[in-house]
Chain A
Amino acid sequence: MAQPTSNSFPGNTKSSGYVSRLYGVMILLFLVLMIPGLAMSQQAIPVAEDPEVEKRMIALTEDLRCLVCQNESIAESRADFSNDMRREIREQIHANKTDSEIIEFLVDRYGDFVLYNPPMQTTTILLWFGPLILFIFGVWFLISYIKNRRIQIEEVTLSEAQRKKVDALLNEENK
């Protein structure tokens, strides 16, 4: 895993035709890098011990509300409450709980308020079907409006003589 720092900067092996300013920057950087002893460029360790668990945890917590924050998800928030929740959820994932079991666990303790994605139930029917109802109403309005106006407007058809007159007037104006 570990590799010498110089490997990450092959700039010093480049031909001398390289812009000198850039070369200077390189050397400077190289020196800066050398300052903290023999800095080794090793790969950083992911914060998450188990990337799979972390992925599931983040997917879950993105849709959960941090109760002590103004309006942030547990995934985004760095509040103490959210740290605890993330820890709790990680542990439950390790304990082979399913996503719905974990969500149930939280809802039992904190109520539906923690869910950014409210479940379908009697109190949320209007929320989930509201947009559809609005959409159907909109389409109905559109069709009835257009139909109605076509009945209401009676366009006066011009006689041949009138049309000629209009054309003449228009032509005159366009000149």
Chain B
Amino acid sequence: MIPEIGNFALILALLLAITQGTLPIIGAARGIPSWIALARPVVQGQFVFVLIAFSCLAYSFVTSDFSVLNVATNSNTELPLQYRIAATWGSHEGSLLLWVLMLAGWSIAVSVFSKQLPDEMVARVLGVLGLVSVGFLLFMLFTSNPFDRLLPAAMEGSDLNPLLQDPGMVIHPPMLYMGYVGFSVAFAFAIAALLSGKLDATWARWSRPWTTVAWAFLTIGIMLGSWWAYYELGWGGWWFWDPVENASFMPWIVGTALVHSLAVTEKRGSFKSWTVLLAICTFALCLLGTFLVRSGVLTSVHAFATDPERGIFILGFLVVVMVFSLLLFAWRAPKVGLGGKFDLLSRESLLLANNILLLVAAGSVMLGTLYPLIVDSLGLGKLSVGPPYFELVFVPLMTPAIFLMGVGPIARWKQTSLPTLVVRLRWAFGVSVITALIMPYFMGEWKPLVSFGLLLAFWVIASAFVNLKHRLSNSGQGSLFAKLGRQSRSYYGMHCAHIGVAVFIIGVTLVNGYETEQDVRMDVGSQVEVGGYSFQFNGVNDYVGPNYQGIRGDIAVLKDGEFLRNLHPEKRTYNASGMSMTEAAIDTGIFRDLYVALGEPLANDAWVVRAYHKPFVDWIWFGCLLMVIGGFLAVSDKRYRLKIRKKEEIVTKPEEKTVEPVDVAEAPASAAVSAPAMATETRKV
């Protein structure tokens, strides 16, 4: 009964989504207020029905209803409750339902936090979101219905993939989907703007916080995935350039470009068609990722059970979405104004350069990911493209991008002079070069690549401080704290995210440069030394987990002969699937991780043990976290909160309210003129 309710709710949700995707958009085009007004209630209705469907599926999982095919193949009665709940989105079908639920949730959020937007705009945005939802609901109902029955019901289910039975995996997919779905909001704003033909700075201001939030969630999602791979796969790697990882990384790179391009469009009215194109591309890459993961065209460590039929559906959906969007783009974009003028060297041009570098990087990742498929479909044989390729290509492309990260925030809008930039960044460059040269000695050995990585990281940090210092000295009177308090949260957000990138680079550089490992046969009582720590193997003991048989190792960690702590790496064999899993034990520290994993058993209670010393590895995820915090700081900025309080008033306010204090302080004349100049922009055609 419950699964039928869920199925029925999905069908009702589809009907509402169709309504949401058609009437408000037509209403906005024809100027029918009653149809426009339909948007918000329909969104709420759709959300309720999708939520009902989701709850029904979750209920079937929790109560182990094996007459539902999806439950029977992805859960069993032994599975602990939390993983039975997580299994709801552990399968292909369930994860689609989660996706649709999040889409409905984001739509609700848009309908609630968009009171200051014109009603037609809201109607169009929600309409586009409705159409996206129609696509996914059709996909689910026609090719992957999570409520399909299994008759007669199975006595016992099989199992949730043991790899997914982990807290990290429980929250990784929801965060990732929050990001993917969030970018569909950015996409909806872009399409709505194209539909209305009113592609202006106001549009950018509306869509910017949504995009930033989506980007932050995608960052968390990728970060959790990488962290999970680190402790769960058992050999301490954190990124493998696997097709599925690349599938989430490509929208992230293009999304990062979008976040920056939106900043220019909002502040200066430039790059409008570029920004719209980026929003479309980001969403397209999210769909492409879905296609790659679920169609089975590429072999990957963590693909879903794949099916070419599903592949055809998603590809068809992707083609429909893209042809429509890009045609709309080709029709509207030529009529879009160019925005404010800027020089060859200005913050705009630097941001555009950064955008292009990011796109080239994303394009290269895409090339590497799809190349085996392209070569194969041309009948030219099979080949593999792996980490060596991506590392060789990605690092040189990111190097200039990171260099520009230091320069960009210091350059002025419109035009900036090279000598001023050089003078201002002189000492940041000097400091970073000297630190980068000296630092590796403290790690024990000087390595050119380490020094180079550190140079990039310190450059970003030092230039951020130069920027802050300069900005404070231009922030009028008062104590240091008063001045610090006067800066906007979005300003701090930017630097927080940039420093996050630097911290990330430090982590990657140092762990790659100084990681040490030992792969040893350990008798009970024997020791091995890794990175200045001794690991003493004190044997293993068997224990019984809720749905697996475990073997837990007992390893004492000693530093200079003094006992630090015990680590308990595990081997688990899951009852239902018979799959064996390695659970590494990690002693996390700010400056190093100690990582121990059990290998295979040997005679006389001895074991093969792998022990690693990974300096600064946690900085990788800490850096990602800083980026996320930066993103949320930026959206909590006063101007967004203000907007909600004083709705209409702000929308009608002219541009210069958002001009940053640094511009005013540096060049009062140019800043003051810039707004009128922008208003009078014309084109010589």
Contacts and interface: CB of A to CB of B under 8 A. Distances in A.
A11 to B, nearest CB: 6
B389 A44 contact: no
B656 interface: yes
A3 B334 CA distance: 80
Contacts of A166: 672-673, 676
Nearest to A70: B301
Nearest to A115: B384
Contact of A44 (B380, B385, B522): B522
Given A43-B526, A149-B338, A111 B382 contact: yes
Interface residues of B, number: 77
Interface in A36-83: 36, 39-48, 54, 62-63, 65, 70-73, 76
B683 A8 contact: no
* Across the A-B interface, the 5 shortest Cβ-Cβ residue pairs: A116-B386, A39-B525, A117-B388, A131-B364, A44-B520
Interface string A19-47: 00000011001001100100111111111
Given A36-B524, A150-B341, A156 B364 contact: no
A112 B383 contact: yes
A127 B367 contact: yes
B607 to A, nearest CB: 10
B527 A70 contact: no
Given A70-B301, A112-B382, A127-B367, A44 B685 contact: no
B210 to A, nearest CB: 27
A123 B383 contact: yes
B681 A153 contact: yes
Contacts of B538: 32-33, 39
Given A9-B561, A127-B367, A153-B341, A36 B520 contact: no
B200 interface: no
Contacts, number: 191
A145 B271 CA distance: 10
B389 A152 contact: no
Interface stretch (A88-96, A97-105, A133-141): A133-141
28 contacts: A5-B525, A8-B536, A11-B562, A36-B525, A41-B536, A44-B537, A45-B521, A46-B521, A47-B608, A62-B387, A63-B387, A70-B301, A116-B384, A116-B385, A117-B388, A126-B367, A131-B363, A138-B359, A139-B356, A142-B353, A146-B344, A146-B349, A150-B341, A152-B338, A153-B341, A153-B684, A166-B676, A173-B654
A11 B242 CA distance: 47
B518 interface: yes
B240 to A, nearest CB: 8
Contacts of A71: 240, 242-243, 299-301
Where chain A touches its partner, the secondary structure class is helix
A15 interface: no
A151 interface: yes
B651 interface: no
B385 A48 contact: no
A76 B389 contact: no
Contacts of A163: 673
A73 B299 CA distance: 13
A117 B381 contact: no
Contact of A130 (B367, B523, B527, B556): B367
